[in-house]
Amino acid sequence: MLKFARHRHLVSLCLCATAPLIWGTGWSADWRLSRQLSVNGVYTDNLSLSEEDQGSDFYVELTPGFVVSGKGGRAEFDLAYSLQYLNYLSSDNGDQANHRLQGNGRVELFRERLFVDAKTTARQELIDPLGPTSGDATNLSGNLQTSYTYEISPTYYERFGRRAELTARVSNNGVFYSDEGSDSIGYDGSIELRSGPAFGTTNWALLVSSEHVDYQDDEVPSDTYSDASFLLGNQLSRRWRLDGTLLYEDNDYTSRDGTSGAGWELSTTWTPTPRTSLRVGIGHRYFGMTPVLDFSHRSKRSVWRASYVRDVSSARGDRIGSQVFAFEDAFGDPTVPEVTAPFEVGDDTAAPTTGTYVSNTFESSYTLQTRRSTLGASLGYVLREYEATAEDQSTMRARLFWSRQLSGLTRSNLTLGWSRSELDQTSVTDGSDERDEYTLDAGLSRRVGTNTRVALQYRLSSSDDVTENRVTLGLVTSWSD
């Protein structure tokens, strides 16, 4: 209860964190406002996601929200927020309210010299990635909480003619949890000196950075991450590029092995057309080999992306770097996020612990758009090798999405999903835990007004011995200025 009381005003604090950016845009900014509202009636045959007591219930879901964007001569601002209110008709646990927030902004304080960036988020997540879940935040499973983040970063730029460019950046950030997890405050800084146009097809860079993390739990030691690196690259031809990196890392965090050492990386980039790029490489750091893969291909109607990264990270680092709502679509074009849409609570998020881990992440996605249909597929895998506890947490997931405009007013959608989460503790307990989940979503929506539609949705989720069937009938509307 004390932890909840301490964080019940964090949504207001997150909004205040971006207030200076709103003022910075000035009255001359080009403002856009989208107000959104959804009202749903939902029936479920397993509200608590329990194996024994699979009680059914009917609940009402009310979700108001808004998206505001502003762009002036020296500032940009995007803010998306929604409040999900859940009223359970037969449950004794009472009503629930979930906050979701994504705020991004930048203010240019001195022209082409000094900038201030800010970011804030609020989202629902799983406490135990292997615990019960239906993929969203509506069930009373006891396995959900809200996490909040903020980051404020002043940045200074300096150009030395055509020879070099200097970037100096400092940052303050924080990660907070409503229930489980150790809250933390981070401080980091970096200096980058990069070559300018005078060097032609050859480029170089010298980078130095350091980050210090203080956990609010007095029993948890602080973490420090520092590194220095030198990059050298050359554009061999219009299609081929070669890059190399030498680096040294000096870290201090809880680990069974070393946390510091020298490293290197060598990669090549092939760009046959402006719409296609492939970067592959290999490297070595103090924790082992680090393969590199970054592929993207875009045509008029399709986008295909694939990447693999092996790096050092943590639960707080992942949350600082992630986003709740996207202001760009799969093609990179600006879009207004639908903040009242069902919010996915993924099981691939790191558990809210303080441990540092080596993250192995593979992501692949394909999106195809035709005149009346949209088809999407994704495949992902993440393996977290914890440095202090000899545990491996992995998640593999696959998703297939299809929607089609049946008529001028009616659209259908179908989504199939599968994921497998596993916690391997063979080096500690000589055993492992795993969970498989399958999901099916199918529905129809019909437009009944210029910006209003009625939707009927069916969802089936099954994981191990827990199964839920859910039917949703709702109304979604929006107003834009």
Q: Is the dihedral angle over the CA atoms 155, 310, 318, 120 positive or is it negative?
A: positive
Phi, psi of 4 (to 5 degrees): -65, -40
For the chain, the distance separating the N- and C-terminal CA atoms, rounded to the nearest angstrom, is 41
CA atoms within 13 A on the CB side of 172: 4
Q: How far apart are CA 338 and CA 36, in angstroms?
A: 8
Q: If DSSP states are collapsed to H, E and C, what string results for the chain?
A: CHHHHHHCCHHHHHHHHCHHHHHHHCCCCEEEEEEEEEEEEEEECCCCCCCCCCCCEEEEEEEEEEEEEEECCCEEEEEEEEEEEEEECCCCCCCEEEEEEEEEEEEEEECCCEEEEEEEEEEEEECCCCCCCCCCCCCCCCCEEEEEEEEEEEEEEEEECCCEEEEEEEEEEEEEECCCCCCEEEEEEEEEEEECHHHCCEEEEEEEEEEEEEECCCCCCCEEEEEEEEEEEEECCCCEEEEEEEEEEECECCCCCCCEEEEEEEEEEEEEECCEEEEEEEEEECCEECCEEEEEEECCCEEEEEEEEEEEEEHHHHHHHCCCCCCECCCCCECCCCCCCCCCCCCCCCCCCCCEEEEEEEEEEEEEECCCEEEEEEEEEEEEEECCCCCEEEEEEEEEEEEEECCCCEEEEEEEEEEEEEEECCCCCCCEEEEEEEEEEEEEEEECCCCEEEEEEEEEEEECCEEEEEEEEEEEEEEEC
Residue 197 φ then ψ, to 5°: -65, -20
Q: For 2-480, which CATH class? A: mainly beta
Domain boundaries, the chain: 2-480
CA of 450: how far to CAs of 66, 134, 404, 405, 477, in Å?
Answer: 18, 32, 19, 16, 9
Inter-residue contact 128 to 143 (CB < 8 Å): yes
d(CA 167, CA 172): 17
Record the tokens describing residue 191, joined without a space. 């200096």
Give CA torsion, residues 144, 12, 36, 468, to 10 deg: 10
pTM for the structure as a whole: 0.88
The pLDDT value recorded for residue 4 is: 41
pLDDT number for residue 48:
86
Give pLDDT, residue 203.
96
Q: Dmax of the chain from CA atoms?
A: 71
Q: What is the pLDDT of residue 23?
A: 47
What span, in angstroms and rounded, lies between the C-alpha atoms of 155 and 167? 7
Beta bridge partners of 159: 165
pLDDT by residue, tens only, the chain of 481 residues: 445 444 444 545 554 555 544 444 444 568 899 999 999 999 999 988 887 666 788 999 999 999 999 988 889 999 999 999 999 987 666 788 999 999 999 999 999 899 999 999 999 999 988 888 888 889 888 899 999 999 999 999 999 999 999 999 999 999 999 999 999 999 999 999 999 999 999 999 999 999 999 998 878 899 999 999 999 999 999 999 999 999 999 999 998 888 999 999 999 999 999 999 999 999 999 999 999 999 999 998 999 999 999 999 999 999 998 899 998 887 778 889 999 988 888 888 888 888 899 999 999 999 999 989 999 999 999 999 998 887 899 999 999 999 999 998 999 999 999 999 998 875 444 556 888 999 999 999 999 988 999 999 999 999 877 899 999 999 999 998 7
State the pLDDT at residue 177. Answer: 95
